[in-house]
Structure 1
Amino acid sequence: MYTQILKEIIFEITYNEQSIKDLVPYCLEQYTGNENEIQIIEGFEKNYRKNSPIWWYTYPCFIHSMLNRALRTHEVDTIIKMGFFIQDLHRQIEQLHKEQSNDQQKRSFIVYRGQGLSKEDFQKLIKAKGGLMSFNNFLSTSKKRKVSLEFSQDALNNIDVIGILFKMIIEPSNLSTPFALIDGVSYFTSEQEILFSMHTVFRIGEIKQIDDNDRLYQVELKLASIKNQQIIALTERMREETRGSTGWHRLGMFLIKLGKFDKAEQVYKALFGLTTDDKEQALLYHQLGLIKRNQGDYEEALSSYEKALEVYQKILPEDHPDLATSYNNIGQVYHNIGQYSKALSFYQKSLEIYQKTLPSNHSSLAISYNNIGLVQTYMGNYSKALESHQQALEIEQDSLPSNHPYLAISYNNIGLVYKNMGDYSKALESHEKALEIEQKTLPSNHPSLATSYNNIGLLYDNMGDYSKALEFYEKTLVIYQKTLPSYHPNLATSYNNIGSVYTNLGEYAKALLFYEKALEIEEKALPSDHPNLATSHSNMGIVYNNMGDYSKALESHEKALEIQQQSLPSGHRILATSYNNLGSVYDTMGKYTEALLYYEKTLEIERITLPPNHPDLATTFNNIGLLYDNKKEYDTALSYHKKALEIYEKALPPNHPDLANSYNSIASTYEKMKDYTEALSFYKKALEIRKQSLPSNHPDLATSYSNLWQLYQAMGDNRQAFLIYQQSLETREKPTTSDRSDVAQTYNAIEQVFENKEEPSKTLSFIKPIIKNIRISQLPKQFRMKNFRMKLRLKTKKT
């Protein structure tokens, strides 16, 4: 689909002799050190018009390999530079096809193509049998099977490659791409070569070995036309979304769709010098603003959007949809810099105009609802956010093809709301729907795919499934490594996320390694006061705090705060995060006065920037409560914990994990106050929520069981202590004794066996399958005694 659209755009662009001149230095850079190619490239400008495009394409030089590699791998830079040649080559094939059509249009015929495929690509080909296969590049074939077979056999010199002989059945009635016999105009005049233009589509037929060689296969292909209505509808929609007054305008829009923002910027800046029309200039400012926002340059983005708005306000009526688009764009920038109230105000202005002037199922309305939903999410208004995103999705389902990437955006947004609401199963379902659409409709290395992988990774991270989180973060990283420069900020974001998983796993050395990689990129790619650098310093501070290196933790958090104070408004929410982190370190160090000072600064910002029932306010109240816990001022601690709980109960669904954390904090305070009845009640509430909302292997669930177990022991109820331990093991897929904490809990539970006078046989039968997997060396000395083993009548494994 994307190759088809790009082809159409290239054919609309008007090229001149300067295009040929511009290609020469670009090619010289690509072939540095290759003297033969350099000699041809240096003469290319002078000699290009002396020969036909097909002659140049078949001549053994840089043109053929460079062009087809670019088309196959979507190297947009090269495709743009070679656009004039693509256009010339296609037109010559098209002209020859018309001249030869009298002979071709009535009869089917067979051509061959020999090449190598990687083993991985060959397996994909086998799985796709019966489906469609597209050659995005210009396709060279021959009527001579023997000539093509030699190319297949040559591929066998590489042990990692399978030799493929494509047998292609051409039915001219299924024509979707022009082709021509080129012997009379080719550099090679006797190969009976038939050359197809870009984007030839075939249906995959029989696949069989040649000469019983398991590395040499013949694959039958039949020329086909695309009849899949979803693909046709989506392609047509993409045409509409990349419409423009010229081919260059369309190219700029297309590059933005592909996430190639640097290249799009070059196109639009060049167009500024070609127009004096106000409306045209406003559109260019709008597009530059969009590019700058996606590049993270919010100041420039806002400046460009405001210039566009200024022009539109002069030349358009006040309820014109283009004004609504400008308001929406400005709202997005305010959203990005954390000014949510301003963002919401601009989004609502935009929505009001769209509601007056557009049909109720117009996609621009969906964009407005999605943007309002996102800002409501950041403001903690999850029910309103969900309502807005669902309105957007309903419009898109009504007005767009079912596999349009915009639907994926809505599903991702809905997933993020459910994640914040603690409904992880619904969140995962939404993110997977988004991913399914993107995998079907976007190139495999598109930035939106990376975003979806990242969202799923974040979800698994929150669920405590760190191996899954790591798997998806690494998928994100692979796309970024393939498509972005080595010092792009998105790579740093990926490294930070991977570092967070290792932090959660307690692998602090690995976590620091990834945070340092992130910081190295950010220091090279971003201004020294960019907020992303502060994020990396904060992450490192958290690790140092966990490692007990408090001086380094403070140093890192202070660096983060210093950067944020330079780059952000004094009341920005991110500052509150840094104050909170500093408070946490001082709290851990026992410096409660300093800790309280920072927590109060956090609270001051959050009270200004957040609605009164935002969950982040509750988190800060909870942190202050924990501080007073540490100071043994339990009444004060309890009052803060209850403030937190009051907010959580209003703002969150009843099974949200943060509610469980709040119940847990209150229970812990009651336990320290020796009010075991109240403590038991709140610990049980925390456990019930965690059982409903978290996977069975989540660390917080283990914490709940441990808290109840210790409380029952403090109450002298050893039987209940043992039973709660039994429940903890029953919730896991398989009891394990490889972890020190599991072993410790196991042998402490064993002690309870001898206290359980009522049901000794039941407790003994439960203990047997656990004990048999414990090595003697894992147990304390008292449990290695002979009389202990005799009493249990069990044998432990020897080391």
Structure 2
Amino acid sequence: MSTEWERLKSDAEHARAYGNFAEAEVMWLRALKVADNFEKGDKRMALSMDKLGELYFEEKRYLEAEPLFQRSLVLRESTLGFEHPDVATSLSHLYSLYYVQNKLDKAEPLCRRVLTLYTKAFGEHHEYVAACLLNLAKLEQAKGNFAEADPIFAQALTLSEETLGANHAEVGKVLNDRGAFFLEAGRLEDAESQLRSALSIREAALGPAHPDTVNTLSNLGSTYRHLGRYHDAEPIYRRLLSIAEKALGPNHPDLGINILNLAETYQSQRRYLDAAPLFQRYLVIQEKQYSKDDPRLVESLHSLAMAYLEEKKFSQSEPLLKRALSIQEKALGAKHPDVGNGLNHLAALYYEMERHEEAEILLLRAIKNLGKDHLGSEYEKTLIAYLKHLETVYRAQNKLAEAEEALSSLIAVQEKMLGEEHPDVAASLTNLALVFEGQLHYRQAQKLLERALKIAEHSFGPEHPEIGQPLNKLAEVLDLQHKYVEALPYWERLISVYERSLGTRHPDVADVLDRLIASHRANKEYAQAEILCNRAISIRENAFGPEHPDVGFSLNDLAMVYFEQGKFERAEPLLKRASDVLKNALGPKHPEVALTLCCLATIYYKSGKLAEAETYFKDALAIYEKKGDAVSPQMNGALENLIGMYQEQNKLAAAESLCKRFLALRIKTLGSEHDKVAMSLNQLADVYCLGGKFALAEPLYEQSIEIQTKNSEKETLDLAETLDQYAMVLRKINKTMPAIKMETRASVIRRRENAPE
């Protein structure tokens, strides 16, 4: 009988080692039956229960494992006594079973009892005690008791190193688990240190592709992503994918998490060209598993579509989102509330394509389809998500009244569901402040932002990164009111918040530095601005590499610091490098490239290199024209400079052609009564005046005055200047009385505005 049990045990262990769990189960069931015939108290009975329970545990058959572990515990307690070390084995099995099912109240007393047994049996200075301390630390972590868990992790690590040696695989496990704890607790620098040590030990002790090594790599990659160190995370995720491919093959479904982690890391670096093929690959794997209309494809279709969306590959994104929506409608019905998710994603695409009316229609449909009965407690949560998106679409269309209404509804739902002091309310208050900012109601915006900041500080604390958004926007609104001195401490505080939470080298710190740089530039504090520009460049090069577009933006900022001081010889090489970086990263026709070209052109213009200046101005304007940009300050500056340059060189035909071209663009994109159309009419009229073509200039000034008068609540100094130009033309063509009327009207405006005559 004993020989038969030993044979069954050997066969079961062999089957399990080769992954044949079904055969192993049969062997252990037979072994358990054989053990029934042994004398009472025979250890093999409890061992058979343990081994069969372990098998079920590994297969996640927890309901079947639990009675086996419980029987094993009772048997050992009755035959060996409650304090025998073997009893701890059964207790540990039950602890692990309850722990993985998150039954922490049942798990904790078992863990503490095991610790007591091991300490009594082996003494406090033993590896078993260290292992039990590690389990207890993880248990406290799972309960959210981070303050209690921290010293227990430290104790487990010290004891493991002392009893096993600093390079033992079990020490690697403690370091890994402690690093994961620090990661969850947000102590990212500590997490990195522990995980790097764990990785070194596990690679040496277990090998570079061992599952435990893989687990540490995964934790370290996640830590780097949280730190914003995507350059460090990328090789880890590439390695993890390579390990999984070698183990499973290139098309195995379980590759998904590795593919997605690498894809998302590329997305975080804005390397959408690298991310999209990975999302595509994951979709292909899924399509081999499921039918083409399977709802399980929807999430993958959305991920790939969003990657294309970020790349501005709208024509590739749209069919994916439409397919996902079609799958949902087919599976659920067109009016089902869950279809709203697909409508929301498609609306996001149309928003980016500036097809705002279509986005608005989709979101209104999604909101209309919402059903309280179907969604239950999720109704308010989903309504909040759609209202957030809808108000953004309204703001993009400059439908500020509608945006205000949507945000007011959103805030009301949030306050009812979450309470008036909830951080989500603060976020919506911040967006409502942006609406007031768009209406030039800066004082109202400032009050909302002050309330939002107060809520965020109360919810998270004065140094938490979540206060960043209201802090950021409050500083911006103060800047818009030219309260630069008042805004400066908010920018400095924002940098301090990010440095504390994310580290001094995080890309988000560089984003705030940009605003602080702008504030210093506005105050002409160029020495401080230069220092901050160099720091922003260093951060972004470290985070993204020297060829990333954000590095190009920072180079451009530094160039502008020199440019505004007239240090053209220092600005020029920076602008050239910025131009090269942005062309390579974004394409030669991107608006950000145009801005750099404008700056270079201005340098050449002021340096008397007119041929080079003309080339760069024309290239920049061609980019703006192709994009349909008729209003941006950058486009206006380039246009005015090139027209002025032509006028100085007496190239009036070229100036006339340019003015007519952009007048037509502005009428087409903005309508015939926009203020920018009036500006173009003035520019063309000025060119005619220089050429002595006063009869052609007269109707242009007249039309410009009509537009400016209609569009403004009160007459402005810009209008006064146009009136004077018109009066000059009228005198040239001997219309003296109308000229006097224009001059008188201009004089009244200037006196009212306290402007010099």
TM bucket normalised to smaller: 0.5 to 0.7
Displacement after TM superposition at 1:771 (Å) = 7.2
The answer as to 2:277 corresponding to 1:387 is: yes
Corresponding residue to 1:782 among 712, 724, 729 = 724
Q: 5 Å matches for 1:161-200? A: none
Provide the identity percentage.
19
CA pair 469-271 structure 1, distance change in 2 beyond 3 A: farther
The answer as to 2:576 corresponding to 1:642 is: yes
Task: Specify the SS of the correspondent of 1:678.
Answer: helix
The answer as to 2:473 corresponding to 1:539 is: yes
The alignment's TM-score, normalised by the length of structure 1, stands at 0.53
Please say if residues 453 and 471 of structure 2, whose CA atoms lie closer than 8 Å, have aligned partners that are also in contact: yes
Distance 2:347 2:442 in 1: 24
AA matched with 2:514 = N
Distance 2:493 2:679 in 1: 40
1:578 matched residue in structure 2: 512
Q: 5 Å matches for 1:47-62? A: none
1:118 matched residue in structure 2: none
CA pair 511-563 structure 1, distance change in 2 beyond 3 A: same
1:671 matched residue in structure 2: 605
Distance 1:574 1:770 in 2: 45
CA pair 591-774 structure 1, distance change in 2 beyond 3 A: closer
1:596 matched residue in structure 2: 530
1:659 matched residue in structure 2: 593
CA pair 663-330 structure 1, distance change in 2 beyond 3 A: same
The answer as to 2:611 corresponding to 1:721 is: no
CA pair 335-627 structure 1, distance change in 2 beyond 3 A: same
Please say if residues 393 and 411 of structure 1, whose CA atoms lie closer than 8 Å, have aligned partners that are also in contact: no
Displacement after TM superposition at 1:469 (Å) = 9.8
Task: Specify the SS of the correspondent of 2:504.
Answer: coil
CA pair 404-627 structure 1, distance change in 2 beyond 3 A: farther
CA pair 754-599 structure 1, distance change in 2 beyond 3 A: closer
Q: 5 Å matches for 1:474-623? A: 487-493=421-427, 495-496=429-430, 508-509=442-443, 511-513=445-447, 515-623=449-557
CA pair 317-533 structure 1, distance change in 2 beyond 3 A: same
1:467 matched residue in structure 2: 397
Distance 2:290 2:190 in 1: 30
CA pair 532-267 structure 1, distance change in 2 beyond 3 A: same
2:614 matched residue in structure 1: 680
Corresponding residue to 1:374 among 251, 264, 268 = 264
2:244 matched residue in structure 1: 354
Displacement after TM superposition at 1:411 (Å) = 3.7
Distance 1:424 1:517 in 2: 39
2:749 matched residue in structure 1: none
Alignment deviations for residues 166-212 of structure 1 (CA, whole Å, 9 cap, x no partner):
xxxxxxxxxxxxxxxxxxxxxxxxxxxxxxxxxxxxxxxxxxxxxxx
Distance 1:489 1:433 in 2: 36
Displacement after TM superposition at 1:782 (Å) = 3.2
Displacement after TM superposition at 1:703 (Å) = 5.1
Displacement after TM superposition at 1:377 (Å) = 3.1
Distance 1:244 1:784 in 2: 89
Displacement after TM superposition at 1:675 (Å) = 2.4
Distance 2:403 2:242 in 1: 39
The alignment's TM-score, normalised by the length of structure 2, stands at 0.56
Alignment deviations for residues 681-715 of structure 1 (CA, whole Å, 9 cap, x no partner):
11222222233446666665555544443443444
CA pair 599-786 structure 1, distance change in 2 beyond 3 A: closer
Corresponding residue to 2:306 among 396, 411, 415 = 415
AA matched with 1:752 = V
AA matched with 2:306 = G
Alignment deviations for residues 767-791 of structure 1 (CA, whole Å, 9 cap, x no partner):
9987775648674333665984997
CA pair 748-443 structure 1, distance change in 2 beyond 3 A: same
Please say if residues 601 and 614 of structure 2, whose CA atoms lie closer than 8 Å, have aligned partners that are also in contact: yes
Alignment deviations for residues 618-637 of structure 1 (CA, whole Å, 9 cap, x no partner):
11111111011110111111
CA pair 635-332 structure 1, distance change in 2 beyond 3 A: same
Displacement after TM superposition at 1:596 (Å) = 1.0
2:226 matched residue in structure 1: 336
Distance 1:601 1:349 in 2: 31
CA pair 690-597 structure 1, distance change in 2 beyond 3 A: same
CA pair 648-766 structure 1, distance change in 2 beyond 3 A: same
Alignment deviations for residues 51-84 of structure 1 (CA, whole Å, 9 cap, x no partner):
xxxxxxxxxxxxxxxxxxxxxxxxxxxxxxxxxx
Please say if residues 544 and 553 of structure 1, whose CA atoms lie closer than 8 Å, have aligned partners that are also in contact: yes
Distance 2:649 2:509 in 1: 43
2:685 matched residue in structure 1: 750
More helix by share: 2
Task: Specify the SS of the correspondent of 1:751.
Answer: helix
Please say if residues 735 and 770 of structure 1, whose CA atoms lie closer than 8 Å, have aligned partners that are also in contact: no
Displacement after TM superposition at 1:452 (Å) = 8.0
Distance 1:456 1:629 in 2: 38
Gaps of 5+ in 2: 1-59, 65-99, 115-130, 145-176, 357-391, 746-757
AA matched with 1:661 = L
CA pair 428-411 structure 1, distance change in 2 beyond 3 A: same
Displacement after TM superposition at 1:602 (Å) = 1.8
Displacement after TM superposition at 1:535 (Å) = 3.9
Displacement after TM superposition at 1:641 (Å) = 0.8
Distance 1:497 1:456 in 2: 21
Please say if residues 230 and 269 of structure 2, whose CA atoms lie closer than 8 Å, have aligned partners that are also in contact: yes
Alignment deviations for residues 582-607 of structure 1 (CA, whole Å, 9 cap, x no partner):
22211221111111121122223233
CA pair 517-623 structure 1, distance change in 2 beyond 3 A: same
Task: Specify the SS of the correspondent of 1:548.
Answer: coil
> Looking at CA atoms only, which structure, 1 or 2, has the larger radius of gyration?
2
Corresponding residue to 1:731 among 658, 665, 668 = 665
Distance 1:317 1:409 in 2: 33
Displacement after TM superposition at 1:269 (Å) = 5.3
Please say if residues 435 and 449 of structure 1, whose CA atoms lie closer than 8 Å, have aligned partners that are also in contact: yes
CA pair 363-487 structure 1, distance change in 2 beyond 3 A: farther
CA pair 283-760 structure 1, distance change in 2 beyond 3 A: farther
Please say if residues 283 and 300 of structure 2, whose CA atoms lie closer than 8 Å, have aligned partners that are also in contact: no
AA matched with 1:387 = P
CA pair 622-299 structure 1, distance change in 2 beyond 3 A: same
Distance 1:514 1:436 in 2: 41
CA pair 310-583 structure 1, distance change in 2 beyond 3 A: closer
Please say if residues 377 and 385 of structure 1, whose CA atoms lie closer than 8 Å, have aligned partners that are also in contact: yes
Please say if residues 395 and 403 of structure 2, whose CA atoms lie closer than 8 Å, have aligned partners that are also in contact: no
Please say if residues 298 and 333 of structure 1, whose CA atoms lie closer than 8 Å, have aligned partners that are also in contact: no
Displacement after TM superposition at 1:287 (Å) = 12
Please say if residues 231 and 544 of structure 2, whose CA atoms lie closer than 8 Å, have aligned partners that are also in contact: no
Gaps of 5+ in 1: 1-242, 248-264
Distance 1:319 1:675 in 2: 61
Distance 1:480 1:447 in 2: 20
Alignment deviations for residues 82-117 of structure 1 (CA, whole Å, 9 cap, x no partner):
xxxxxxxxxxxxxxxxxxxxxxxxxxxxxxxxxxxx
Please say if residues 679 and 704 of structure 2, whose CA atoms lie closer than 8 Å, have aligned partners that are also in contact: no
Displacement after TM superposition at 1:649 (Å) = 2.3
AA matched with 1:374 = E
Q: 5 Å matches for 1:13-92? A: none
AA matched with 1:384 = D
Displacement after TM superposition at 1:448 (Å) = 9.7
Alignment deviations for residues 201-250 of structure 1 (CA, whole Å, 9 cap, x no partner):
xxxxxxxxxxxxxxxxxxxxxxxxxxxxxxxxxxxxxxxxxx99579xxx
